[in-house]
Amino acid sequence: MSAGDRSLAVEPAFALSDLRPQGGERAILVDLDIGVPREADEREEFVLLACAAGAEVLGILGGTRSLPDSRYFIGAGKADELKTLVAATGAELAIFNHPLSPAQERNLERLLQCRVLDRAGLILDIFAQRARSFEGKLQVELAQLRHLSTRLVRGWTHLERQKGGIGLRGPGETQLETDRRLLAARMAVLERRLARIERQRAQGRRARVKAELPLVSLVGYTNAGKSTLFNRLTQAGVLEADQLFATLDPTVRRLELPGGRPALLADTVGFISQLPHELIAAFRATLEETRNAALLVHVIDAGAANRARQIADVERVLGELGSQQPRLEVFNKIDRLEDASPRLERDAEGRAVRVWISAHTGAGIELLQEALSEYVSGEQLIESFRLGVEEGRARAWLYRHARVIEERLLPEGGWELSCEIARSECGRFRAIRG
């Protein structure tokens, strides 16, 4: 740690006013239909999120609005109803299943005289509780500070400029400005530490490339069963729990496949709808494993009430990360369905695209291993690559890992190579080129 890091190692003292409502676990949940009605599973997921954070749910306030209210989000009448409910139940916290602006949070806290938390803040709190590794804790803290930096206005009276008086007049510095300065300094320290960790992670990726071990990443909605499947395939012994965000820290283990070459299997953090952008940014280094994988195994809860929405949410986050690798869909938890049986589905070209399994019972695992072996061992493709004159190493890599059918020089310089290459190697090559 540098001297600059040591000087900022102490947590910044964001001294929120004593007049502001203090924390607690007894909560009222607020979930309105804004514009379009919510699905039942979305409401259930919100309750599960609150419980995962440790909240004691005292009541749920619903309603319908065409548009959010600029002052209270839920409107003045509904806000008064919420105030009455908070007072009657003795709630210490109001949790909204919606994104709130800093001004809306401040106005609601003044009205309700209790803490107010939006969906992003709730998810950040869960991540803070579950992070175990050093890197995970740094990532969560950075995400929290980025979220807090937009909400310093909630600090109320202590953020106002100093009052005048004999010996007190002068420009001074507002508490708000002080807090922002401390926040920016702490975030800079965290970003430097995470950058060092990312450089170490990049070295590990380069070592895997040299060892010619393709990487397979498990991705999916939270609580889809990724960790259970990871343990079933690798006997890694990572935490398994029937709860949202049971595990956060990524794990990579060697994967032995029958009749095929070995690979590496990575278990990544689960996704969720309306995942805070602060978390996506902070966990970008961890989620880079999805961009460098030869194959993404999308684990799906086959019995989820709205699995189509969950699939779309996962694909949306993968799109934000720039992941374009081949996908293998794995429909998990078929033991909870009445008529489902293990099966392997292929497309018109005979390529494995979907596997139905139960990671809990082991049903269909051999079919999944067969599909993974096909991807890893090498379904052969005919691909054409255009390389610039500065990509000599990439050209040499293709000659080592593929069969070059034809090579021709380009008029502007560089080469165009037509190659027969394994699908997995094709994904690795694109990841190496970036």
Annotated binding-site members: 220-227, 245-249, 267-270, 332-335, 358-360
Q: 254 with 264: CB under 8 angstroms?
A: yes
Q: 384 with 340: CB under 8 angstroms?
A: no
Q: DSSP code of 269? A: P
53 vs 118: CA distance, rounded Å: 13
Name the binding residues for GTP: 220-227, 245-249, 267-270, 332-335, 358-360
3-state secondary structure of 368: helix
Burial level of 6, CB count in 10 A (0-12/13-18/19+)?
exposed
Q: DSSP code of 39? A: P
**Paired tokens of 361:** 């019972």
Name the binding residues for Mg(2+): 227, 247
Candidates 141, 24, 33; CA nearest to 97 is: 33
328 vs 41: CA distance, rounded Å: 25
Element (H, E) at 161: none
35 vs 38: CA distance, rounded Å: 9
Q: How many CB atoms lie within 10 A of CB 409?
A: 10
How far is the CA of 357 from the CAs of 131, 247, 287, 307, 309, in angstroms?
29, 21, 25, 16, 20
120 vs 130: CA distance, rounded Å: 16
286 vs 292: CA distance, rounded Å: 11
DSSP character string of 89-115: HT-SEEEESS---HHHHHHHHHHHSSE
Cα 229 from chain centre: 19
Q: What share of the chain is helix, strand, coil (3-state, %, to 5)?
A: 45, 20, 35
Helices 40-52, 119-130: crossing angle, 10 deg rounding: 50
